[in-house]
């Protein structure tokens, strides 16, 4: 494990680059404030340098909410979102800090989709982004790295990406949604239905959504 002083790069800080991207954002962005001790611990446990956009977001933010909070980019956590990126991966992609992760979870959305960096388990394209789609329970290659993924969340056509998965008045509903929760649908998104507006919705912890979906994936 590298020391914290080795991970904090003051001369070439990735946050300067991320800040420039945020200025050009066309999607709504909310940067969650950080807690200094949480930020240091999350960066140390993740073992990435602040020279990278990933390390910079972990160290400089509690997380970033995109498009009224539809996508939650994980940082070091704060009062609005208790999850930090290192603890969130523990027990899902890794069993102890410092371990090489087969995939590393970096973001998720309100409908139970999860974004991860491929560490080797998801395909041969090491370091590329994947999306665990809640409507098919499969990992899908996004053909982009983490930096491009951040840029896409800021400027990409999210309406097109989530076509058919957004219900009427979704913005008003998720504004009231806690950032550690997601939307549970019934019938489930991976079943057959005609219109997402016909499904019942319930706010449940995002961790429960993760466990439920992967349990069903194993069964199927």
Q: How far is CA 148 from the centre of its chain?
A: 14
Q: Is residue 114 within 8 Å of 210, Cβ to Cβ?
A: yes
Half-sphere exposure of 100 (CA within 13 A, CB side): 5
pLDDT in the model for residue 94: 97
DSSP conformational letter for 164: T
Among residues 14, 8, 7, 12, the alpha carbon closest in space to that of 150 is found at 14
Delimit the domains of the chain by residue range: 4-165
* Terminal-residue alpha carbon distance, the chain: 38
Report DSSP letters for 64-114, one per residue. Answer: EEETTTTEEEE-S--SS----HHHHHBTTTBSSTTPPPSEEEEEEETTS-E
pLDDT in the model for residue 13: 86
Collapsing DSSP to helix, strand or coil, 148 comes out as helix
pLDDT tens digits along 57-105? 999 999 999 999 999 999 999 877 789 999 999 999 999 999 999 999 9
Residues forming beta bridges with residue 30, ordered by sequence position: 65
pLDDT tens digits along 120-179? 999 999 999 999 999 999 999 999 999 999 999 999 999 999 999 999 999 999 988 999
Q: Is residue 76 within 8 Å of 39, Cβ to Cβ?
A: yes
Confidence band for 25, pLDDT divided at 50, 70 and 90? very high
What would the mean pLDDT of 18-26 be, rounded to a whole number? 97
Q: Is 109 buried (19+), middle (13-18) or exposed (0-12) by CB count in 10 A?
A: buried
CATH of domain 4-165: 3.40.1580.10
pLDDT in the model for residue 167: 98
d(CA 50, CA 14): 6
Confidence band for 4, pLDDT divided at 50, 70 and 90? very high
Question: Two tokens at 95?
Answer: 């069993």
pLDDT in the model for residue 220: 83
pLDDT in the model for residue 79: 76
pLDDT tens digits along 33-58? 999 999 999 999 999 999 999 999 99
Question: Two tokens at 187?
Answer: 């019938």
pLDDT in the model for residue 12: 84
d(CA 60, CA 43): 10
pLDDT in the model for residue 81: 78
pLDDT tens digits along 179-207? 999 999 999 999 999 999 999 999 999 99
Collapsing DSSP to helix, strand or coil, 162 comes out as coil
Question: Two tokens at 117?
Answer: 């960096």
pLDDT in the model for residue 10: 83
Name the helix (H) or strand (E) containing 129.
Answer: strand 129-133
């Amino acid at each position: 494990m590298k020391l914290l002083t080795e991970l904090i790069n003051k001369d070439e800080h990735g946050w300067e680059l991320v800040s420039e991207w945020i200025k050009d954002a066309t999607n709504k962005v909310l940067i969650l404030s950080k807690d200094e001790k949480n930020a240091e611990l999350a960066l140390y446990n993740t073992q990435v340098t602040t020279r990278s956009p990933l390390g910079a977001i972990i160290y400089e933010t509690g997380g970033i909410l995109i498009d009224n909070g539809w996508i939650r980019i994980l940082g070091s956590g704060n009062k609005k979102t208790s999850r930090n990126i290192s603890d969130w991966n523990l027990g899902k992609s890794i069993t102890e800090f410092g371990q090489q992760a087969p995939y590393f979870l970096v973001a998720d959305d309100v409908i139970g989709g999860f974004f991860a960096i491929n560490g080797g388990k998801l395909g041969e394209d090491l370091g590329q982004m994947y999306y665990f789609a809640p409507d098919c329970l499969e990992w899908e290659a996004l053909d982009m790295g983490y930096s491009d993924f951040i840029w896409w969340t800021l400027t990409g056509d999210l309406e097109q990406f989530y076509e058919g998965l957004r219900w009427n008045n979704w913005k008003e509903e998720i504004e009231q949604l806690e950032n550690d929760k997601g939307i549970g649908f019934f019938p489930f998104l991976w079943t057959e239905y005609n219109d997402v507006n016909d499904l019942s919705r319930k706010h449940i912890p995002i961790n429960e959504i993760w466990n439920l979906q992967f349990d069903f994936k194993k069964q199927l």
